[in-house]
Amino acid sequence: MRFSLKLVLCTTVITALLFSVCGTLMVKENFDRSLELAVKQNVNQHTLERYALESNMLGYILSGEEFTDEKLAEYGYRLSGYAGTKSQRIAIYTEDRQEIFSNLPEGLTREAVAGVLGTNGDDYQLEKAGQEIYMLLASYLNIENHPVYVASAYDMTSVFTERDRQLRTFLILNGIIIAISLFAIFLLSMLLTAPIKKLNTASRKIAKGAYSERTHIHSQDEIGELSRSFDQMAQAVEDKIEALNAALKQREDFISSFSHEIKTPMTAIIGYADMMRLTPCEKDTQLKYANYIYSESKRLEELSRKLMDLMALSEEPAVLEPVDTGMLFYRLKKQLEPALGEITLEIEAEDATVLAEETLLNCLIRNLVVNAKKADPKDGQVHIKGTIEGSRYGVCVTDKGCGIPKEKLSRIVEPFYMVDKSRARACGGAGLGLAICQKIAELHGTKLEFESVLGEGTSVRFLLRCWKGEEEGDATQA
């Protein structure tokens, strides 16, 4: 059963039950009050009738007349309203319960009347005579040693008729209110459960792979809070899936690139070695084949070394110590000038002391400079700029070379990824240099930021923490 239907049924049942109980209690309270008032009036009326009978009979006795049953019957006839009217319903009995006078309704049985005889006007009895309901009262009188019983019957039909009318009215109103409540509660339940349905629909779509699905419920109640938590969870799941897909693609690309990088030199080595083994050739040709084998073997050696470097950087943290940037750039210039050839290295750096692992930082900047040289800068220069930026020290390596397409900037730090594979291999690259640089940057608590325009050049920037003195400690472990 759906939650909305459960809500409608439960709310309707509770509403109907409470309204029925309250209405029944109200009708009962009205009836009890009406009955109590009627009973009180009838008791007072019966008391007056009893006193009137007693005083009348005493009057006969005091006047010297004889007290007889006929006198009682005559008084009863006169009291009942003469001519047989029904304004007064009374009966007079002797001590042995013999009827002297009675104009009680025919539907009242002798047993019913006998049930109230012997009381003293305090107890009453309700009896039904046809379609009417009567209240019976009786009193015992002893008039000059002449005991008699006086019984009165009072019509109570109107009290019970009013009760039944109120009950019928209440039942009609109860039915109307329940119907209206059912309709209103149904609409309200649809309104209240609509966000839950949206949550359910969104969860089903996400379960089927639509990870971008969101509920977009903006209410400020508990369901709104649940919706926002659900959307946050869905966003986290989507981000995780995207990260896993990206990692899977990088892994596939890594395996594919690694296999290709291994296969190419191995094929050349095996081919030339097989030719030297099976084909007689001149010494110059053998030397040529041997040079091919040597160059490809060196390429494999370099690839292996870079892979080992990348693995080593992933396993152990770097110990960061104060490094003087002036000495760092001076040593870099001396190391790189022979390798750059016709390319000029221009360094413009402010002196500062940074927290770094000097060997790794040297490797990072050297790789960036070598990459800038491979971009074939038009002005024949590679620029290094170092600036103090508050508590950070910014290092930027810039060239005016071939540049990198914008859509490929996000992948250039992936292992074995090469923007231009033919140019990279011609320069002896394997696509691992920037991956190593990125890892070194991460060990220093920073990252590489690339800006490039195709055909105009590239700049790579990263930030280092400045050393503040003794409060930093002698060394910091990243």
Distance set, CA 206 to CA 199, 201, 213, 215, 219 (Å)? 10, 9, 6, 11, 22
Interval 171-200 mean pLDDT: 82
Interval 382-408 mean pLDDT: 90
Distance set, CA 388 to CA 20, 220, 358 (Å)? 82, 47, 18
Please give the pLDDT value at position 306.
61
Please give the pLDDT value at position 417.
66
Interval 76-101 mean pLDDT: 74
Interval 99-107 mean pLDDT: 85
Cα–Cα dist 143/72, whole Å: 11
Predicted confidence band of residue 188 (pLDDT cuts 50, 70, 90):
confident
Helices 283-315 and 433-443 pack at an angle, to 10 degrees, of 20
Interval 165-169 mean pLDDT: 91
pLDDT at 464 over 90: yes
Q: Which amino acid is at 30?
A: N
pLDDT at 203 over 60: yes
pLDDT at 427 over 70: no
pLDDT at 266 over 70: yes
Predicted confidence band of residue 316 (pLDDT cuts 50, 70, 90):
low
Identify the DSSP state of 467: P
- Least confident window among 69-78, 294-303, 457-466: 294-303
Cα–Cα dist 171/356, whole Å: 88
Please give the pLDDT value at position 93.
87
Interval 251-261 mean pLDDT: 61
Q: Which amino acid is at 112?
A: A
Interval 169-175 mean pLDDT: 88
Q: Which residue has the higher pLDDT, 110 or 21?
A: 21
Please give the pLDDT value at position 398.
92
Tell me if 300 sits within 8 A of 262, measured CB to CB: yes
Q: What's the pLDDT tens digit per position in 342-374?
A: 888 899 999 999 998 888 888 888 888 888 888
Looking at every residue in the chain, the average pLDDT score rounds to 80
Interval 183-190 mean pLDDT: 82
Predicted confidence band of residue 412 (pLDDT cuts 50, 70, 90):
confident
Cα–Cα dist 4/75, whole Å: 74
Q: Furthest-apart CA pair in the chain: how many Å? A: 181
pLDDT at 313 over 90: no
Dump strand ranges (E) for 76-124. Answer: 90-94, 99-102
Please give the pLDDT value at position 66.
75
Q: Which residue has the tokens 């291999």?
A: 425
Please give the pLDDT value at position 1.
62
Q: Which residue has the higher pLDDT, 411 or 349?
A: 349
Distance set, CA 133 to CA 153, 159, 160, 312 (Å)? 10, 9, 8, 107
Cα–Cα dist 12/26, whole Å: 21
Predicted confidence band of residue 147 (pLDDT cuts 50, 70, 90):
confident
Query: What is the per-residue DSSP string for 32-83?
Result: HHHHHHHHHHHHHHHHHHHHHHHHHHHHHHHTT----HHHHHHHHHHHTTST
Please give the pLDDT value at position 85.
47
Q: Which residue has the higher pLDDT, 280 or 86?
A: 280
Q: Which residue has the higher pLDDT, 70 or 249?
A: 70
C-beta atoms surrounding 109 within 10 Å: 12
pLDDT at 338 over 70: yes
pLDDT at 144 over 80: no
**Token pair in block for residue 412:** 């250039």
Tell me if 365 sits within 8 A of 354, measured CB to CB: no
Task: Mark 3-40 as b/e (b = at least 16 C-beta within 10 Å).
Answer: ebeebbeebbeebbeebeeebeeebeeebeebbeebbe
pLDDT at 49 over 70: yes
Please give the pLDDT value at position 474.
47
Query: What is the per-residue DSSP string for 402-464?
Result: S---GGGGGGTTSTT--SSHHHHHHTT--S-HHHHHHHHHHHTT---EEEEETTTEEEEEEEE
Cα–Cα dist 401/382, whole Å: 9
Q: Which residue has the higher pLDDT, 283 or 389?
A: 389
Pairing of strands 381-389, 344-349: parallel
Contacts of 168 (CB under 8 A, 6+ apart): none
pLDDT at 97 over 50: yes
Predicted confidence band of residue 83 (pLDDT cuts 50, 70, 90):
very low
pLDDT at 389 over 80: yes
Please give the pLDDT value at position 218.
75
Q: What's the pLDDT tens digit per position in 271-298?
A: 878 888 887 878 888 888 888 788 777 7
Cα–Cα dist 124/116, whole Å: 7
Task: Mark 316-330 as b/e (b = at least 16 C-beta within 10 Å).
Answer: eebebbbbebeebbe
Predicted confidence band of residue 256 (pLDDT cuts 50, 70, 90):
low
Q: Which residue has the higher pLDDT, 378 or 226?
A: 378
Q: Which residue has the higher pLDDT, 76 or 153?
A: 153
Q: Which residue has the higher pLDDT, 46 or 111?
A: 46
Helices 433-443 and 358-374 pack at an angle, to 10 degrees, of 150
pLDDT at 9 over 50: yes
Tell me if 384 sits within 8 A of 346, measured CB to CB: yes
Question: In 80-156, which ranges are continuous DSSP H helix?
Answer: 110-114
